[in-house]
Structures are given as C-alpha cells and as structure tokens.
Structure 1
Amino acid sequence: MTELSDKELATMRAKLDAREAELGAQVRSVNEEAEEAPSRSPPENVGDIGDQGEELIRGAVRHAEMERDQMELRQIADARERMDHGTYGTCVDCGADIPLARLEVLPFSNRCISCQEKYETAHPGGVRIPPAL
C-alpha cells in the first residue's frame, strides 16, 4: 500500500480547506437570504399560478442545493478524520489505494473507482461521483 507523502497530504488538506470555505460561504449566504426573505404565502406575493409554481420550484432547488452542500461538508470532515487516523487515500470498502489523480479532483473520496461504482449501483439516486476520476 502506497502512503501519500507529507507534501501530498498537505496539498489535499489545503484543497479540503478551500472547498470547505467555499461551501461555508454558500450555506451562510442561503441562510442569510432565507432570514431576510419575508414570510410570505404564494397567493399574496406571487402573481399567477405559474409564478407560484416557479417560486415553489426555486425553493425546492435551493433546499436540494443546501442539502448537497451540507453532505459535502460532512464528507470533508470525514476526509480530515481519515487524515488524522492515517487512513486517508485508502478505500473504505476494499482497502486499496485511491489514485492520487482521483483525490486531486475529489479530495474527500473515500472509495476507489471500482468500489464507488459498486456503491452507486447498490444505492441508486445517491450522489454520483464520475467514475473516471
């Protein structure tokens, strides 16, 4: 099993930090927007039925994006924990090394490509991570 060098780990940690800061800013922005938005019911503040539907869809999309961002923040925290325990870069399912190229693109990856594909097949509808990474 190939261990990542200290330099590679530092690079991955910096990528995790940068992504966490970006996601944190997005989550704060959405929360602030929600707090500032007046409580409204669609009939009073939205024009016709089409506008009401559009507003509901926008709200659902914002909610889905928020859930996705929060899940990625959890994955980042999990990746840091694996770094602290010396298991970062090792597939949680089979124990194989996760290729550095994959970690560079998705630094929170916890599965090798083969196990990720199996996981996605067994858990359809979950977050899809491109198998080529």
Structure 2
Amino acid sequence: MKLSAIKVNTKAIEAGKWVDDIPEMGDLRLKVRGLGNSDFSRRYDELVQAIPRAERPNNRLTPDAQRKLTAQLYAETILLDWEGLSDDDGAPIAFSAEFAEQILADPEMRDFVFAVRHAAQQVAGESADAAKADGGN
C-alpha cells in the first residue's frame, strides 16, 4: 500500500466538506468538518469539565449529559451547514448553529445525530489521494 493512500485529507477535516448520500436521509446534504478536527478534542475536554459532578458520577456522563454534550460539540465543531432539510410543510429550514444544537439535543432526532456523525466520519476517513482524485470538492 502506498503511504500516500493512508494520509487523511486534513484540509477537509479542518475546513469542512459537503457529504451526500447519507443513509436513510433522502436528499439531505450536510457540510461538516471531520471528526478529530483541531477544535473537537479541545472543546470536548472543556465541555466535560463544565458538566457538574452530579451529572458525571464516577467520572461517567449520564445519558442526558452525554446527549447535551454531543449536541453542543457537534453544533460548535462539526456541523457547518445543510441542504435539503425542510419543515413538515416542505419549507426549507435555513441553517443556524443554534437551531442545529436544538435538533441535535432532541432525543427524538437521534437519526439526525447519526447522520451528522456518519458525515463527519466520512470526511475524517477520506484519504488525501481521494481528495486529489475528486478535485477536493
């Protein structure tokens, strides 16, 4: 295997990239930074330390605290934009980080959280060679 084939596309991980064909999400497109971007770990540590000890017994987060942390972390460091998201009447929903965090924190919207995670994993796992092959789009 070529060494260059295992290099990741750090430009996309940091700047973000549009991801299509997210399983079971129809025509939803997400612009995301990759998991492991430079802000992700730093912000994760800050957010965990800010959680009251009562919500992290034995240094483990309660499910509610974990969901809130994930929502805030993804809204602040992963999700940059979306296309193809609409309300129940079909009207497009404009992206905002605040609204994204609300959706990501809603337990009934866990499939959306999975979609964001899937897209971020796609970006994080893209090789530098693949980025060159598709022109970095």
Q: Same fold (TM over 0.5)?
A: no
More helix per residue:
1
Q: Which has the bigger relative contact order, CA under 8 A and spacing at least 6?
A: 2
Larger Rg: 1
Q: TM-score, normalised by structure 1?
A: 0.27
Q: Specify which structure has the higher proportion of strand.
A: 2
